[in-house]
Amino acid sequence: MTLPPAHIELREITHAYRTDAGPLPVLSDLSVAMEKGSFTAFVGPSGCGKSTLTRLVAGLMRPDQGQVWLGGKIVGSPRATVGMAFQNPVLLEWRSILDNVILPLEIVAPRMPRKDRADRARALLALVGLEGFEDKRPSELSGGMRQRASLCRAIVHKPEVLVLDEPFGALDAFTREDLWQTMHRLRREESFTTLLITHDLRESIFLADRIVVLSGRPATVQHLMENRLGPDRVLDDLYAPLATEMLATLRLQIQIAQGRAPTDAAAP
């Protein structure tokens, strides 16, 4: 059996920022391959280089060494085929929610008729439970609702890749779990290859097929875990023994990455 070619390939990436105090190595010989339609979560210590990784995948910067491959081509500049969402959704207050979601289509598909753009945006807003809020301004929505709208905006132009940098980090626990389910639904309806950066280990095993634990800075792949919860997982599965076992492994790996694991536990 031959494996399908990877959709996204991070190949031996090494990068350092130039700072006044000299080069700051952030990523070191980091390699991961992601298949089309897969969902990969990246977890790792604060400041290890996760957001840097998202900027490289989005083509906002190039690594010192190594390459990001997307659909068989090296990524060297920003791409419309990548949708992004961040911790604090940046929605434009002078536009309605519908017009905020439409924005990427105005840029990527300027010739698309206004009605088609609006239909696409309305369908997505309905899918995430925001039907009836299309004409509101961002400030009239709760944080969770704004984040839902921002997810719609990230995928309205049908990007091949969705990059999520802690999109649920600023939300309370219940809203966050709601959004996880929304994300699950979106994933069934739309097709994109997803990279999720998160600090929340439960979130990683609910949403992702694979969880990559990054080492401390400069980050490299320290541990790779296949999610053993099935694709039809529900929130309650997060409290079953299998999930507890995976979470314990991930916690230990994070402690090792932070350099604070007991030495005997650090052995393979």
Q: Which pairing describes strands 39-43 and 22-34: parallel, antiparallel, or unpaired?
A: unpaired
Single residue of 51, 65, 96, 255 touching Mg ion by CB under 5 A: 51
Q: Which is nearer to ligand ATP, 100 or 150 (CB)?
A: 150
The strand pairing partners of 83, in sequence order, are 162
Shortest approach of ligand ATP to residue 230 CB, angstroms?
29
Closest to 249 (Cα-Cα) out of 231, 228, 218:
228
Cα(71)–Cα(36) distance, integer angstroms: 9
Strand, coil or helix: 83: strand
Cα(139)–Cα(93) distance, integer angstroms: 7
Give contact residues for ligand ATP (rule: CB under 6 A): 17, 19, 24, 26, 46-52
Q: Which is nearer to ligand ATP, 49 or 104 (CB)?
A: 49
Tell me which of ligand ATP, Mg ion, none is bound by residue 19, counting a contact when its beta carbon lies within the kind-specific cut-off of 5 to 8 angstroms.
ligand ATP
| Residue 32, H or E segment | strand 22-34
Shortest approach of ligand ATP to residue 61 CB, angstroms?
9
Q: Which is nearer to Mg ion, 134 or 165 (CB)?
A: 165
Q: Which is nearer to ligand ATP, 12 or 17 (CB)?
A: 17
Shortest approach of ligand ATP to residue 83 CB, angstroms?
19
Cα(250)–Cα(256) distance, integer angstroms: 10
Q: Which stretch binds Mg ion (CB under 5 A): 50-58, 122-130, 169-177, 212-220?
A: 50-58
Q: Which is nearer to ligand ATP, 17 or 80 (CB)?
A: 17
Cα(100)–Cα(152) distance, integer angstroms: 9
Closest to 182 (Cα-Cα) out of 209, 210, 225, 150:
150
Shortest approach of ligand ATP to residue 191 CB, angstroms?
27
- The residues binding Mg ion (CB under 5 A) are 50-51
